[in-house]
Structure 1
């Protein structure tokens, strides 16, 4: 008995030692994970560095109260730990001493973020204390830096830093010379700044450049005066969410090693011939969320090296032949293996062979993604030509079925994943899919279709029962989301019943079909023979009246027009001041355009360059269905904004107060309130923007207001 107790005592002791590595765990406000070798400390009351277990190699100090960082300040972790990663975020740091990092001999990654009061020059001097043979990754985000000293990284010229991230600051320029001291820099991330001007000199070894969400209007210059590349090693370029309006065949010269390019969320109206042809090694191209795109020229995708193309959420009309050339659009990139065209307008059922003409050159395609593209029918002879096709996604379209499945799908043993979720498929029978497809598939998604629970569905029910409900499963196929998303839609008395619970048998269906067919046929004939003549006789006066009313309606329509024509180019024109530009561009416009599929007019993006501003305002305001006024104290002080308010009032007098929507971004003080603003606010309710609980209500009210009709305006004679 004593030996058993002794054994369990030793076992428990060993477990405790293993869990704590022989040391006490972190004390509040710190939290440690021994297996991950990490520690995190967060408390505004913490004004010193606590001692941490010796196993800690990665430490995060977030939301503390560290005023001055020095060598002695870090003594508790430099004397007992081998720190390789340190994160200092939002710690109210004011300055850093020159020797602050002298004892971090193993430090590889340092992050100093959201330290808005930090003196940048003290940080620059503190670089002297880095162990330059170890440090290779720096992150400085959200510090509200607008400009960097020219010699910012001079003290790191002997370092091996490969990655530098300075996202979410307020940097205005990219001056490559500042980073030229970092002779091994491979990745430079400057996303979410306000960069407009770019000089790439000094970045000769750079491989990845991230400029997402800046203020870039033109593609940067990649070639120097001698025709050589500023960035000859660049492989990844990200320019999403800028204000670029044009690309052409010279836009990407001198980038012959570029492999990945992303230009999503920009304002191109057309993709021109040979835009990407200089990118001889381009492997992956992202052109998504470009909602203003109207034309694709014949050789726009002249990129033989291209393997992946993501052309999503552009709302481009491939169903209109004058917008592109179906025969040539993909003929110059025959090596594509992945194509995603989600949320565009592909040819309808009557033009399904146009889809075949577009995609037939892509014989090496392995993954084809076409959700939400308004497809109604599948083209004959397209998929059999794609010998390597593994994944086909047709989710969220209007496909209701097809005939001759052998010619639609062919003998495709390569196809492993087929997604037909949320279409209009009612019936699945023995001929819906070729046997070769069902035997080779690993994943099939038919969920959320409009299944008809009649005896015609009996084959599908038996196939499901045999393959997914019986204990002896015959293949490795997975029927996605079965059974919860496979429900009856027809007939009405079975609507909502899971297909799993609909269990017809051949015997009951045979008997039911025999009598039902006879009864329905006889009833239909009798009704037609009796009801139609009777209705015509009894309702002849009403018929004549209806014909008279229809003629009158047509005449009135040809001689009158409504004053509230919906033929506008934009859903809304936004009136705002320069101080509120960031909220308008980054929050309001992105929300309405990306999530609500609206077209918004803002002067920063739409106005004609060189034209008088008064003419621009009048021209573009007339193209917009409604006007959104974003108000604040800065707005009230702007003379231009007050002039635009007068234009809003004039528009309201013509079309009613429903033409304008008022947003109070920041409450206007009484001493800033003008007579015109007061009149506008007294006559029209306004929306108050707020974060948190009321934000969802704000967006709901705004979207409904933009979509709400003006009402019933008067009728004017032509």
Structure 2
């Protein structure tokens, strides 16, 4: 029985780094997206010629196995150009480059592609790892004799003293490297691609890249390092001249590596830089001067909050940028992309963009792809997308588009692919026409992939971004539209001369559904009633005549004050027209007479809330309001009755508050034969007060926002002021819809405090407000 000391590899790995959970892919993808000779685990692929490769990955005693394979290697007209020593439990770079093949050629002269991925190189300053006593030698990991305690030399010692003059690509991923000392790659004069991703690098010295002046691609992504206090430390450049020797560097990947703000100043030295990924690096507020000295074409700044706070951040690269990924950066406008005349792909998903300005759209003259998913876009009523003449692919999924307007239809005419699924759309004939045009195009138009307008988009034979490939993947994997029309019902529409050459790239069964407001149910776009004949109106002619009339008849002294007044109160005027538009649409739901002052109310308060806030309503609100204040509450879980389940796709008032599979009976207040929406309106009218329980979850529900419009509409219609708002959490102004903002300005609202001591005052204020509204209608006897 032999007692040996072995290193616990898992313990050493755990003490060195805490790898983050899997992340979304950035514009530069992953290391294996830009070359093909090695896979993610470090094994050589079939693209590496069999006659020129040796793979000893995942094997113990790798040096001995390499020596044996070299002895049997057929060197006649061949040489070892590809070598993998991945995941061999190596502690430093092995000293194997003086080994020769049977023809006497040393590896240092023949190697062009080398991967050492997945080993764990310990630095001299690394804390001593944990050891344990092992009584069974079966799984023992041998420790090199030259290692004192752990390591006596730097991790790159195997590169020292040899000239790897033909080495083109070096893969050092997942090697536990913590620091790049001076000149570890100085003997690799022709190195073009260096992969240092998924290490623990926290410091790069000024001379770390000496000797690799021909480097084209540098990957330092996914580097995570924690200090002894388990605090995540950011990457530190020993000097801002750290990249000064990389005169040919064209692509730099720093994604998922925490960066210090001043590090971006080092980019100014990279005059030849074409591609930069700094997604999820915790950088903020990029300044215009940081990229001004580069020739940048491809940029990813995703998941860096407020990195484009400065609207001039991209001023220095306006004429060169072709692809920009700016996902989830708290962007509220597209102003920062003004005059990017070369831009071809723009991804700005998961932001807070509500409109696309006419000026910005006109300046994007070469834009082919625009992705604005998960924003706050609403229906627009003036030409917008048509102002971008090269636009082919438009994705607006999961926004706040509630209606398909004629202007939107015209904007879609020249596009090749659109996607608007995930929006809560009210049915109209424009929705039908949009769907049937896409259905017709399936029969007459083939798919068309999207490629760069500039043929110089390839860098050194490889494209160092995945932008066009990502879009073409969506196109090639889209689902073909199937007709949802009855036999022969759509024949006339499919043969119509309506223009539009687009496909729906995001179509799937059940995705393109809209709400029939009067009936309170959803239906496919293609099943909406036809528009029929339309009277064509020459809008340009009408506008021209009107402007001429105004020009001659309106006194200039009157026009000037009018425009000044309109500019000062532009928000109020815009809100007025939005309210009028919503009122017009909501009036389709219920056209009953206005409730007079003698109306008998069934309840004191009607409570509107989202399903996520149900526990608070049941556990907190009801006991204090019904018991303490003696206020009768109209609550759907107790007072509504549904005799048939809601359609699964119907995002209704009820579905917002409970699981769609839950079916409870309707109370007597709900009338059989009326739509769900009509019954909801009736319940609101038969309650003295409407109480909205607001939270950020409430605002994320498009139907709940529509319901808020409904409450406002009924209050305006009945000329009542019986609305109370309860905020379960603070809602920043940027997250408030205009309706909520003005309701908060004109109605009572209280904020739920987190401190228990303040909650007593909260209930006192709320009960007092509810009782005040109740006494205001004291002449009406409640029959609830």
TM-score w.r.t. the length of structure 1 is 0.51
Q: Note the C-alpha offset of 1:381.
A: 4.3
Q: Note the C-alpha offset of 1:242.
A: 0.7
Query: Which residue is equivalent to 1:235?
Result: 274
Query: Which residue is equivalent to 2:297?
Result: 259
Deviation per residue, 1:190-228 (Å, 9 max, x gap): 00114143532222111111111112142645579xxxx
Q: Note the C-alpha offset of 1:398.
A: 3.0
Q: Which runs of 5+ in 1 are unaligned?
A: 1-35, 44-52, 320-324, 406-424, 467-475, 503-527, 571-623, 627-650, 657-710
Alignment partner of 1:370 is 2:396: yes
Deviation per residue, 1:136-182 (Å, 9 max, x gap): 000101122111220211222xx311000101111113445321301
Structure 1 pair 182–301 and aligned structure 2 pair: CA distance change class (3 A): same
Query: Given that residues 124 and 153 in structure 1 are in contact (C-alpha distance below 8 angstroms), is that contact kept between their aligned partners in structure 2?
Result: no
Structure 1 pair 447–712 and aligned structure 2 pair: CA distance change class (3 A): farther
Structure 1 pair 715–168 and aligned structure 2 pair: CA distance change class (3 A): farther
Q: How does 1:204-353 map to 2 (within 5 A)?
A: 204-218=247-261, 220-222=263-265, 229-255=268-294, 257-268=295-306, 270-279=308-317, 280-290=319-329, 292-294=330-332, 296=334, 298=335, 300-314=337-351, 316-318=352-354, 326-347=357-378, 349=379, 352-353=380-381
Query: Which residue is equivalent to 1:84?
Result: 81
Deviation per residue, 1:76-119 (Å, 9 max, x gap): 46556743322222211234226455533543211112221466
Structure 1 pair 554–216 and aligned structure 2 pair: CA distance change class (3 A): same
Deviation per residue, 1:2-60 (Å, 9 max, x gap): xxxxxxxxxxxxxxxxxxxxxxxxxxxxxxxxxx99999999xxxxxxxxx99454444
Alignment partner of 1:93 is 2:90: yes
Deviation per residue, 1:220-275 (Å, 9 max, x gap): 45579xxxx511111111111111110232231101x2111111111116543332
Structure 1 pair 231–310 and aligned structure 2 pair: CA distance change class (3 A): same
The CA distance in 1 between the partners of 2:207 and 2:372, in whole Å, is 40
* 1:195 aligned residue (235, 251, 261): 235
Query: Which residue is equivalent to 2:207?
Result: 177
The CA distance in 1 between the partners of 2:251 and 2:605, in whole Å, is 70
Query: Given that residues 299 and 328 in structure 1 are in contact (C-alpha distance below 8 angstroms), is that contact kept between their aligned partners in structure 2?
Result: no
Structure 1 pair 123–496 and aligned structure 2 pair: CA distance change class (3 A): same
Deviation per residue, 1:124-145 (Å, 9 max, x gap): 4435445523x20001011221
The CA distance in 2 between the partners of 1:307 and 1:41, in whole Å, is 34
Structure 1 pair 222–560 and aligned structure 2 pair: CA distance change class (3 A): closer
The CA distance in 1 between the partners of 2:691 and 2:299, in whole Å, is 56
Query: Which residue is equivalent to 2:154?
Result: 121
TM-score w.r.t. the length of structure 2 is 0.47
Query: Given that residues 214 and 241 in structure 1 are in contact (C-alpha distance below 8 angstroms), is that contact kept between their aligned partners in structure 2?
Result: yes
Query: Which residue is equivalent to 2:610?
Result: none
The CA distance in 2 between the partners of 1:556 and 1:371, in whole Å, is 28
Q: Note the C-alpha offset of 1:544.
A: 9.5
Q: Note the C-alpha offset of 1:399.
A: 3.7
* 2:112 aligned residue (89, 96, 108): 108
Query: Which residue is equivalent to 2:198?
Result: 168
The CA distance in 2 between the partners of 1:341 and 1:223, in whole Å, is 31
Structure 1 pair 242–55 and aligned structure 2 pair: CA distance change class (3 A): closer
The CA distance in 2 between the partners of 1:341 and 1:486, in whole Å, is 18
Query: Which residue is equivalent to 2:423?
Result: 397
Query: Which residue is equivalent to 2:168?
Result: 136
Structure 1 pair 383–281 and aligned structure 2 pair: CA distance change class (3 A): farther
Query: Given that residues 483 and 499 in structure 1 are in contact (C-alpha distance below 8 angstroms), is that contact kept between their aligned partners in structure 2?
Result: no
Query: Given that residues 178 and 199 in structure 2 are in contact (C-alpha distance below 8 angstroms), is that contact kept between their aligned partners in structure 1?
Result: yes
Deviation per residue, 1:555-576 (Å, 9 max, x gap): 9999999998322569xxxxxx
Structure 1 pair 188–380 and aligned structure 2 pair: CA distance change class (3 A): same
SS of 2:208's equivalent in the other structure is helix
Higher relative contact order (CA 8 A, sep 6+): 2
Q: Note the C-alpha offset of 1:73.
A: 5.9
The CA distance in 1 between the partners of 2:337 and 2:481, in whole Å, is 37
SS of 1:567's equivalent in the other structure is coil
The CA distance in 2 between the partners of 1:300 and 1:40, in whole Å, is 35
The CA distance in 1 between the partners of 2:504 and 2:324, in whole Å, is 32
Structure 1 pair 437–64 and aligned structure 2 pair: CA distance change class (3 A): closer
SS of 1:278's equivalent in the other structure is helix
Query: Which residue is equivalent to 1:152?
Result: 184
RMSD, aligned α-carbons: 5.8
SS of 1:339's equivalent in the other structure is strand
Query: Given that residues 308 and 331 in structure 2 are in contact (C-alpha distance below 8 angstroms), is that contact kept between their aligned partners in structure 1?
Result: yes
SS of 2:115's equivalent in the other structure is strand
Q: Which runs of 5+ in 2 are unaligned?
A: 1-35, 101-105, 123-150, 224-233, 448-474, 496-500, 528-589, 607-630, 633-685, 694-720, 734-750, 769-784
Q: How does 1:602-641 map to 2 (within 5 A)?
A: none
The CA distance in 2 between the partners of 1:94 and 1:77, in whole Å, is 27
The CA distance in 2 between the partners of 1:295 and 1:478, in whole Å, is 27
Alignment partner of 1:361 is 2:387: yes
Structure 1 pair 100–141 and aligned structure 2 pair: CA distance change class (3 A): farther
Structure 1 pair 368–497 and aligned structure 2 pair: CA distance change class (3 A): closer
Structure 1 pair 127–393 and aligned structure 2 pair: CA distance change class (3 A): farther
Query: Given that residues 438 and 502 in structure 2 are in contact (C-alpha distance below 8 angstroms), is that contact kept between their aligned partners in structure 1?
Result: no
Q: Note the C-alpha offset of 1:364.
A: 1.9
The CA distance in 2 between the partners of 1:294 and 1:560, in whole Å, is 30
The CA distance in 2 between the partners of 1:543 and 1:233, in whole Å, is 74
Q: Note the C-alpha offset of 1:72.
A: 3.7
Q: Note the C-alpha offset of 1:330.
A: 2.9
SS of 2:187's equivalent in the other structure is helix
Query: Given that residues 237 and 260 in structure 1 are in contact (C-alpha distance below 8 angstroms), is that contact kept between their aligned partners in structure 2?
Result: yes
The CA distance in 1 between the partners of 2:479 and 2:39, in whole Å, is 47
Alignment partner of 1:66 is 2:70: no
Query: Given that residues 214 and 248 in structure 2 are in contact (C-alpha distance below 8 angstroms), is that contact kept between their aligned partners in structure 1?
Result: yes
Q: How does 1:440-519 map to 2 (within 5 A)?
A: 440-442=444-446, 457-460=486-489
The CA distance in 2 between the partners of 1:110 and 1:276, in whole Å, is 37
Structure 1 pair 185–40 and aligned structure 2 pair: CA distance change class (3 A): closer
